[in-house]
Structure 1
Amino acid sequence: MPSALSSHPLYLVCGDKGGVGKSMVSVALVHHLAQRGTALLLIETDTSNPDVWRCYEQEPGIVSRSVGLDDADGWITLVNLCETHPDHTLVINTAARNNTGIARHGDILNGAVQELNRALVALWVINRQRDSVALLKRFLPSIPTATVHVLRNLYFGDSEKFELYNQSALRQTLEARGGRSLDFPDLADRVADDLISRRLSVARALRELPLGNRAELRRWEKACAATLGAITELDETDHGRDGLQDAAA
């Protein structure tokens, strides 16, 4: 009988398209986990525009590293960081160009997941364009050990407008594998711009921004907690463990 998985999963935030909102999802996920007292290792793989890393590089209690995933060396470094931080949950923010690196070198991570004894969870962020669905279909075979959840970024409209994904056979396949289709809340542009342009963590922004901005950020924080909690709480149950074992079978 396989041993129980570590309670510190690897979260891979991806989407393979620039501008779908991966950085905002990573920021929200790091904040959500940190608020729960989780020890975190943030891996920023967008070495050209490391926005998430810059927001959290000096945040107490969060270890931040920048690692490129364009070649095998980067994937080896990633796995080694996982091994040397066994008591940390990992959040990996991927770059739009990482689809090529995942296709070529994802087996390095796939091969190490069982020995690391961690669940691998991918959060695939989509907009309403056909590419979001087509690239997801291409991604799934690259990381077969992952439980994949889709986040419809409501910056691009209400969830019912994501018709290409909502009505797709791919959605049925993903949900049959244990993944969920969830809505990621929109944040007012001026507040989102504050976070990224001023390199602010959510916690710091809640202390420093003007009152109106803070009120909007608190609304978004609460909405993000509802969405992300549906994923992170699942990972702490037998259901999450079974999902990994079924995918690896």
Structure 2
Amino acid sequence: MNETIFYVGGSKGGVGKSQCCFALLDYLLDSGKKVLLLETDTANPDTYKAHHSYEHEGLVCEIANLDVSDGWIEMVNMADQFPEYCLVINSAARSNSGIEKYGMTLRETLSELNRELVVFWMINRQRDSIELLRGFLNAFPDALVHVCRNLYFGTSEKFELYNGSKARQHIEKQGRTLDFPDLGSRVADRLYSERMPVSMALSKLPIGDRAELRRWKNACTEMFRTAFGEK
């Protein structure tokens, strides 16, 4: 089995996809994995901009447009070209339209690529988060999907629509419901505006900001360990 393909989704803006992607990249690199980042938010490629300048042998960053068929073809070709790299896909808002049209390009090549697809699906407390999740599950019924309640929008108990939904029951047959920790807005803004990965920010930010970032990083590590069955 080649390295895993990770898809960070949510299909709408503002649910925390890029922030989750920052955390996942940091976790995988800390774990000694080689990572290929594929940024698909071509309008606001924040994750790409923050990591591209810090590329090294174990981190490669690319951009692709998954609104068109060529983008899906490029993605599959890159997955084939870098089999020893975890592929982390940071999805764009409204990505479900591209998934519905062209998702089969990835779905039907996973076995040939000899890779597993693992999804971290970010949600807020609104109903459309659940509806968009159902659309993704229809396109990738065999993917291992973890739903992340973004605690920026409140405690886990406040996600009432998802907590009592059939979608949650379906997810938890194989995947998990996770709580994605909130990061102080001041620190999150600096990650994006100063275009730094988490590892660099931990050495460059002021001491108070570093303390908050370290707290968040540790909480994210616990979340990913839970997702991967490491605890």
Common fold: TM-score over 0.5:
yes
Matching residue of 1:220: 216
| Partner of residue 27 from structure 1, selected from 22, 25, 28 | 22
C-alpha distance in 2 between matches for 1:96 and 1:200: 22
Give the drift of 1:78: 0.2
1:55: which partner in 2? 50
What TM-score comes out, normalization by structure 1 length?
Answer: 0.90
- Is the contact between residue 102 and residue 142 of structure 1 (CA under 8 Å) also seen in structure 2? yes
| Whole-angstrom CA distance in 2 between matches of 1:49 and 1:170 | 29
1:13 correspondence with 2:8: yes
1:65 match: secondary structure: strand
Write the mapping of 1:130-149 to structure 2, written as runs, cut at 5 A. 130-149=127-146
Deviation at 1:229, TM superposition (A): 1.7
Provide the residue aligned with 2:36 in structure 1.
41
In the alignment, the residues of structure 2 paired with residue 169 and residue 233 of structure 1 have an alpha-carbon distance, to the nearest angstrom, of: 23
Aligned partners of 2:155, 2:81: CA distance in 1, in Å? 41
The aligned counterpart of 2:226 is 230
> Which residue does 1:73 correspond to in 2?
70
Structure 1 residue ranges (4+ consecutive) displaced by more than 4 angstroms after TM superposition: none
The answer for the alignment partner of 1:94 in structure 2 is 91
Alpha-carbon distance between aligned partners in 2 of 1:116 and 1:129, rounded to the nearest angstrom: 36
Contact 2:96 2:135 in 1 (8 A): no
Q: Deviations over 1:40-84 (max 9, x none)?
A: 000000011100001110223310000110111100000000000
Give the deviation of 1:144 after TM superposition: 2.0
Instruction: Tell me if structure 2 keeps the 8 A contact 1:23–1:51.
Output: yes
* Aligned counterpart in structure 1 of residue 205 of structure 2, from 201, 205, 209: 209
User: Residue 214 of structure 1 aligns to a residue in which SS?
Assistant: helix
Q: In the TM superposition, what whole-angstrom CA distance separates every residue of 1:126-177 from its partner, at most 9, and x where no partner exists? A: 000011011111210111231111000000000000010001111101111x
Q: Which residue of 1 aligns with 2:169?
A: 172
How many residues align structurally?
Answer: 228
* Equivalent pair of 1:110/1:144 in contact (CA under 8 Å): no
The alignment-based identity, stated in percent, is 51
Whichever structure has more helix as a proportion of its residues is: 1
Q: Distance in 2 between matches of 1:94 and 1:170?
A: 21
**Aligned partner of 1:98: which letter?**
S
Q: How does 1:119-134 map to 2 (within 5 A)?
A: 119-134=116-131
* Alpha-carbon RMSD: 0.9
TM-score (structure 2 length as normaliser): 0.97
Helix, strand or coil for the counterpart of 2:36? strand
Offset at residue 233 of structure 1 (A): 4.6
Question: Are 2:66 and 1:82 aligned?
Answer: no
Distance 2:22 2:157 in 1: 25
Alpha-carbon distance in 1 for matches of 2:64, 2:228: 24
